[in-house]
Amino acid sequence: MTIATYFWLCTMAMLGKLFADCPYQACICVSDFIECSARSPILTEIPALISTNTSGLTTLDFSANQITAIHSGQLPQKLTEMSFLENPITTIDDHAFDDSLTTLEKLSFSNCGITRIPTALYRLSSLKMLHIFNARITEWNTDVMKNIGPTVEELYLMNAGLSPNPDWLLYFERLKMLILDGCSIFSVPDDALHKVAKTLTHLSLANNNLTTIPSTIAELRSLQVLVLHRNFISDISSLPNSDQLVTLSLHNNNISDVHLLSDKLQSYNESLITVSLNNNFFVEFPHLDFLSQVGVLDLSHNQISNANSDLFRGL
């Protein structure tokens, strides 16, 4: 439990909003929040429910424990948010989330031992945010991804063992934020982001195995943040067709063509504020004086030997 959370709980309790019928004896309930994170002693399993009167309780936090399994019938009804961050979960029953099928909007896991996208997600009809960090998933249940795809707006998969070519992405039709960092991706299907061309504003494919910017990215017309650092990219021809791009991170790649770079960045002359191009293979400065709004431009740790100040006259 963070210090901020602790003081918030204390404040709410003093205001008389502490729930008397918390569903777990080991947890604290305040306002709409069931706080079960970092218990002392640490929880190794989800406690038995002691109350079914959970009206008004919508958020459940089991973060920072040592829980290894989520069984059916262990969770309160009609929750909108659940967090199991920092738990070594290896088992999730197929019906573990059945009591919140139509209400659950956000679900988070990290440092878990699951190797397959849980079947328990299949019938979640209102899921908007799915976060999975530090998991070695080897089996991406296509049926599950197809069923949850139409409602998910934020998909965060970081170091999650993603398949090299995630073809199920095309089922996610409402994405606004997509983070696929450290997932060993070599390529992205050409039509993977076609359905979110107008909605996706934040895309990160950092720390993967890309050698070129996937062509599907060129379709993204509303993108504001594009993060592609720590890949092996040399070809940047498919930068997004967006006049709203504010942040572009391409550091730690294999980019060397300054002329192509200058040409592709012209589209963002009035929007781009932060550009990270450090640790590439430029041997000369690119012409970027047309970037009228740029506040941060990092070209450090390249192979540039001669600095021409005229190239930055307008910056």
**For residue range 294-303, what is the model confidence (pLDDT) as tens digits?**
999 999 999 9
In this predicted structure, the answer to whether residue 66 has a pLDDT above a threshold of 70 is: yes
**For residue range 156-191, what is the model confidence (pLDDT) as tens digits?**
999 998 766 788 999 999 999 999 999 889 999 999
pLDDT: is 55 or 1 the higher one?
55
Band (308; pLDDT cuts 50, 70, 90):
low
Band (150; pLDDT cuts 50, 70, 90):
very high
Beta bridge partners of 110: 133
Band (313; pLDDT cuts 50, 70, 90):
low
pLDDT of residue 6: 54
Residue type at 10 in one-letter notation: C
Q: Torsion over CA of 274, 276, 277 and 280, rounded to 10 degrees? A: -170
Q: Per residue in 195-229, is it b (16+ CB within 10 Å) or e — as a string?
A: bbbebbbbbbbbbbebeebbbbbbbbebbbbbbbb
Please provide the average confidence, as pLDDT, over all residues in the chain.
91
Q: Which pTM value belongs to this model? A: 0.89
pLDDT of residue 307: 63
Strands, E, within 93-145: which ranges? Answer: 106-110, 129-133
Residue 248: name the closest of 199, 308, 297 by CA: 297
Secondary element (H or E) of residue 147: helix 142-148
In this predicted structure, the answer to whether residue 19 has a pLDDT above a threshold of 90 is: no
**For residue range 226-262, what is the model confidence (pLDDT) as tens digits?**
999 999 999 999 999 999 999 999 999 999 999 999 9
Residue 280: HSE in the Cβ half-sphere, 13 Å Cα cutoff: 29
pLDDT: is 188 or 313 the higher one?
188
11 contacts: CB under 8 Å, gap ≥ 6: none
pLDDT of residue 305: 83
Q: What's the CA angle centered on 38, arms 103 and 67, to 5 degrees? A: 65
Residue 60: name the closest of 92, 90, 23 by CA: 23
In this predicted structure, the answer to whether residue 9 has a pLDDT above a threshold of 60 is: no
Residue type at 113 in one-letter notation: G
170 contacts: CB under 8 Å, gap ≥ 6: 189, 191, 192, 194, 195
DSSP codes of every residue in 3-62: HHHHHHHHHHHHTT-B-S--S-TTSEEETTEEE-TT-SSPPSSPPPP-----TT--EEE-
Please tell me whether residue 145 adopts helix, strand or coil conformation.
helix
